[in-house]
């Protein structure tokens, strides 16, 4: 079963988070995970994927303009409807809008008719309500993206377990 992690990333944080999610996905037997920048997708793989996780940095507490445009222009030809869907974000401030980015991505996925899922509290701790958010250390010296690695990996593993239940 194929699962795709698709992201926008200018300075590498969201790409790193995507790779951690894919690492979690791959821990579930029978799954194949690939990460794609919105600027370099493999459309055949994405079309075949049973689930898609979308990720964006927080830009003014919103998804980036580039991923917004990409979603508007590409989702129609990539067979989004009916696939499982999730979302994640990175930010540089603890309260920098990551949850809002995820919420907007989930809204978009819902409008496509995707099966939005985060795990919520279904798996116990760590509870990941809407999707994982990582805060980098651009501004906050006490923070670092690495501190959030486990949440991204765990999220990927849970997402793949649920996808296997539904589509396996
Ligand atoms: C135009 C712009 C706007 C940003 N706005 C926010 C913001 O509102 N809140 C925040 O926490 N970080 C903000 N950031 C920082 C990025 O969200 C953060 O560094 C992110 O991890 C970058 O992801 P990337 O390395 O994948 O490009 C902004 C960065 C840019 C370039």
Nearest atom in ligand 1 to the alpha carbon of residue 139 is 19
Q: Which of 91, 95, 140 to mutate to test the pocket of ligand 1 (most atoms within 8 A of CB)?
A: 91
Supply angle C-alpha 122, 24, 84, rounded to 5: 60
From first to last of the 168 residues of the chain, give the pLDDT tens digit: 999 999 999 999 999 999 999 999 999 999 999 999 999 999 999 999 999 999 999 999 999 999 999 999 999 999 999 999 999 999 999 999 999 999 999 999 999 999 999 999 999 999 999 999 999 999 999 999 999 999 999 999 999 999 999 998
Quickly name the fold that domain 2-167 has. Rossmann fold (3.40.50)
Q: How many CB atoms sit inside 10 A of residue 34's CB? A: 18
Distance (Å, whole) CA 38 – CA 69: 10
Residue 35 pLDDT: 98
Long-range contacts of 70-77 (CB under 8 A, 24+ apart): 70/8, 70/38, 71/108, 74/38, 74/41, 75/108, 75/112, 77/43
Residue 168 pLDDT: 83
Nearest atom in ligand 1 to the alpha carbon of residue 8 is 26
């Amino acid at each position: 079963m194929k699962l795709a992690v698709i992201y926008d990333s200018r300075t590498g944080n969201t790409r790193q988070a995507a790779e951690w999610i894919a690492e979690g996905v791959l821990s579930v037997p029978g799954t194949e995970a690939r990460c794609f920048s919105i600027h370099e997708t493999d459309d055949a793989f994405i079309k075949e994927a049973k689930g898609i996780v979308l990720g964006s940095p927080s830009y003014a507490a919103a998804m980036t303009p580039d991923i917004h445009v990409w979603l508007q222009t590409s989702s129609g030809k990539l067979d989004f409807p009916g696939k499982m869907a999730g979302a994640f974000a990175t930010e540089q401030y603890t309260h920098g809008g990551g949850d809002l980015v995820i919420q907007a991505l989930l809204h978009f996925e819902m409008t496509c008719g995707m099966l939005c899922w985060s795990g919520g509290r279904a798996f116990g701790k760590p509870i990941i309500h809407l999707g994982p958010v990582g805060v980098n250390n651009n501004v906050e010296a006490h923070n670092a993206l690495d501190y959030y690695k486990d949440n991204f990996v765990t999220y990927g593993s849970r997402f793949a377990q649920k996808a296997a239940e539904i589509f396996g």
